[in-house]
Amino acid sequence: MFVYVIRRLLTAIPTLFVIVTMAFFLIRIAPGGPFNQERGLSPEIKANLEAQFGLGDPLWLQYVNYLKNLLHGNFGPSYNLPDFTVTELFAKGLPISIQLGFSALALALFVGGILGIVAALNQNKLGDYSVIALATAGSTIPTFVIAPVIQLLFGLTWKLLPIGGWGDGALINKIGPILTLSLPQIAIVARLMRGSMIESLRSNHIRTARALGLSDWSVVVKHALRGAVLPIVSYAGPAAAALLTGSIIVETIFAIPGVGRYFVDAALNRDYTLVMGTVVVIALFTIAFNLIVDILYAFFDPRVRYD
């Protein structure tokens, strides 16, 4: 197992290298640059700025320099937020996005999981149909609709929650964003859970458990659920990588200072270093969570052995 983890971490290096390389050249192929703005800078100032950030160098040299800096953990300065380095921006925003994303995922796994089990145990009955209806609604209503509705109801009408803002991380400020983030996830998890639980309940070893006269609790929780959890685990890995790196919609609507905004903002502004920083962070999260999923798999399923 240990050897396996080391091997996976080693294979992550070339993966990351390919991702960084592709992102580096792709964003530079896009027309324009960080200092092409609508108002326009005078050519002298623009040349000065570009010289300062090494943007006048040949592309390959910029690439080599970027890799060198990256190896030292230096993501470079942000071009559009010139008072900050990319590292500083992430140090400030990432913990916020992680908090929201993690809470939303935990909520989704818990609530979605229970809904899915309830649906599976009442297959083709009222309970099942209600969960399916909820899940369909949850996955079809986009977050940019859910978020304003939550603001409207809980913030304006009932005045239970603040309409937006981070409020230095007060719990009450987090509720709206977490709900918004988790609702579609609850829907997905509930559907996945329902499907895999139904399949698990049909398997031969469940029939054996029933034939042995075991209690419903043991049949459902001990024998059916453990096997049914596996597809959820594989879904939760990539989902965690996406949720923990922030959501532009939720962060914009609720005015949350997370990192979700950076990806889109930076790409639009051709803030090369910030785009690259975002790519590296998301890639790292994705690789890490996929590894965690595989390790969890071995924990849940003794047939999975890595050596």
- Contact set with other proteins (CB under 8 A): 7, 10-11, 123, 202-205, 207-216, 218, 222-223, 226-227, 300-303
Angle, to 10 degrees, between the axis of helix 86-121 and the axis of helix 171-201?
40
- Is the Cβ of residue 126 or residue 212 nearer to other proteins in the bound state? 212
- Is the Cβ of residue 106 or residue 206 nearer to other proteins in the bound state? 206
- Is the Cβ of residue 148 or residue 231 nearer to other proteins in the bound state? 231
- Nearest distance, CB of residue 203 and other proteins, angstroms: 7
All residues at 6 or more sequence positions from 158 whose CB lies less than 8 Å from its CB, including other chains = none
- Nearest distance, CB of residue 196 and other proteins, angstroms: 14
Query: Dihedral sign, CA of 167, 171, 172, 175?
Result: positive
Give the Cα separation of 47 and 51 in Å (integer): 6
- Nearest distance, CB of residue 292 and other proteins, angstroms: 19
- Is the Cβ of residue 57 or residue 128 nearer to other proteins in the bound state? 128
- Nearest distance, CB of residue 3 and other proteins, angstroms: 9
- Token code pair at residue 28: 């530079």
CA of residue 202 relative to chain centroid, distance: 33
- Nearest distance, CB of residue 125 and other proteins, angstroms: 10
- Nearest distance, CB of residue 100 and other proteins, angstroms: 33
Backbone angle region of 41, left / alpha / beta, with phi > 0 → left and psi within -120 to 50 → alpha: beta
- Cα angle at 53 between 48 and 56, to 5 degrees? 70
- Is the Cβ of residue 107 or residue 209 nearer to other proteins in the bound state? 209
Angle, to 10 degrees, between the axis of helix 272-300 and the axis of helix 2-29?
150
The number of beta carbons lying within 10 Å of the beta carbon of residue 273 is: 23
- Is the Cβ of residue 183 or residue 193 nearer to other proteins in the bound state? 193
107 in Cβ contact with 188 (< 8 Å): no
